[in-house]
Chains A and B, each alone.
Chain A
Amino acid sequence: MKKSVVALLLAILAAGSVYAIDPGQSELEYNGWFRYLNQSTKFQVTDPTVSRSLIERNYLRASHQWTTALFSKLSLDFHSASGNYSDGATVRIKEAYLDMALPLKDFTLTAGVQKHYFGLIYSWDYTHPDKSLADAQGVCASADYGVTVNGFLPKGLGELQLGAYNGEGYKISGAKNSIAPELLASLRLTPFAGVQVGASVFSKAKDFSPYSNSAGKLSTNRKQWLLPDSANMNRFALAPMAKVAFGPVSLTGEYIMYSYTRNYGYYPADSASGTISESTRKEVTKDYAMTGIDLLPVVSLINRKLEVFGRFSTWERKEQSGDSMPVALDKSLTRYGAGFNWYFLRRAGGSKPAAMFQLAWVREQKRNEVSPGVKVDPTDTFMAQFRFEWNHVLPAP
Chain B
Amino acid sequence: MKKLLTIAALAAAVTTLVAGEVLVKGSDTMLNLVQNLAEAFSTANPDATVSVTGGGSGVGISAIISNETDIADASRSIKSKEISTARANGVNPVEYVVAIDGVCVIVNASNPIEKLTIEQLGQLYQGKTANWSALGGPNKKVSLYGRQPSSGTFVYFRDEAVKAEYAASMRQMNGNAQIVEGVRGDEGAIGYVGVGYAREQGVKVVKLSKDGSDYYSPLDKAAVDAGDYPLARPLFQYTNGKAKGDAKAFIEFELSPAGQKIVEEQGFYPLTQGYQDKNNANLQ
Q: Name A's B-contacting residues (CB within 8 A).
A: 13, 16-18, 20, 22-25, 67-68, 105-106, 152-159, 188, 190, 192-196, 243-250, 299-304, 348-351, 395-397
Contacts and interface: CB of A to CB of B under 8 A. Distances in A.
19 contacts: A13-B159, A16-B159, A18-B81, A68-B158, A156-B82, A190-B87, A192-B87, A193-B90, A193-B241, A244-B90, A245-B89, A247-B11, A248-B8, A248-B14, A249-B8, A249-B11, A303-B17, A304-B67, A349-B59
B13 to A, nearest CB: 9
B149 to A, nearest CB: 4
B86 interface: yes
Given A13-B163, A153-B80, A156-B82, 20 more contacts: A13-B159, A16-B159, A17-B155, A22-B154, A156-B86, A156-B93, A188-B88, A193-B91, A193-B241, A194-B87, A194-B89, A194-B92, A196-B87, A247-B15, A248-B12, A302-B15, A348-B55, A348-B59, A349-B62, A351-B66
Given A152-B81, A396-B149, A245 B58 contact: no
Nearest to B14: A301
Contacts of B93: 156
A304 B148 CA distance: 31
Interface in B76-120: 79-84, 86-93
Contacts of A196: 87-88
Contacts of B181: none
Interface residues of B, number: 41
A243 B89 CA distance: 9
B177 interface: no
Nearest to B170: A396
A67 B165 CA distance: 7
Nearest to A348: B59
Nearest to A20: B58
Contacts, number: 123
Given A249-B11, A348-B62, A13 B84 contact: no
A193 B149 contact: no
B68 interface: yes
Interface in B3-19: 7-8, 11-12, 14-15, 17
B11 A301 contact: yes
B82 A247 contact: no
Contacts of A155: 80, 83
A396 B7 CA distance: 49
Contacts of B92: 192-194
Interface in B164-202: 164-165, 168, 172
The 5 A-B residue pairs with the shortest CB-CB distance, nearest first, are: A156-B83, A245-B90, A193-B92, A194-B90, A190-B87
Most chain B beta-carbon contacts within 10 A, residue among A193, A244, A250: A193
Contact of A159 (B67, B81, B172): B81
Given A193-B241, A245-B89, A350-B62, A157 B11 contact: no
A307 B12 CA distance: 13
Contacts of B148: 395
Contacts of B165: 23-24, 67-68
A3 to B, nearest CB: 17
A86 B148 CA distance: 46
Contacts of B55: 348
Given A246-B90, A303-B68, A190 B15 contact: no
A302 B58 CA distance: 23
Interface in B121-174: 148-150, 154-155, 158-159, 163-165, 168, 172
A156 B15 CA distance: 25
Contacts of A193: 86-87, 90-92, 241
A154 B58 contact: no
A246 B89 CA distance: 8
Contacts of B90: 193-194, 244-247, 250
A350 to B, nearest CB: 7
A67 B162 CA distance: 13
Contacts of B59: 348-349
A17 B172 CA distance: 20
Contact of B84 (A25, A190, A351): A190
B149 A25 contact: yes
Contacts of A244: 90
Given A350-B62, A351-B66, A396-B149, A152 B11 contact: no
A312 to B, nearest CB: 15
B12 A24 contact: no
Contacts of B80: 105-106, 152-157
Interface string B50-77: 0000010011001000111000000000
A246 B79 contact: no
Contacts of A190: 84, 87-88
A152 B91 contact: no
Contact of B68 (A17, A18, A245, A304): A304
A157 to B, nearest CB: 7
Nearest to B65: A351
Nearest to A152: B80
Contact of A24 (B88, B91, B149, B155): B149
Nearest to B4: A249
B79 A106 contact: yes
A23 B68 CA distance: 28
A385 to B, nearest CB: 22
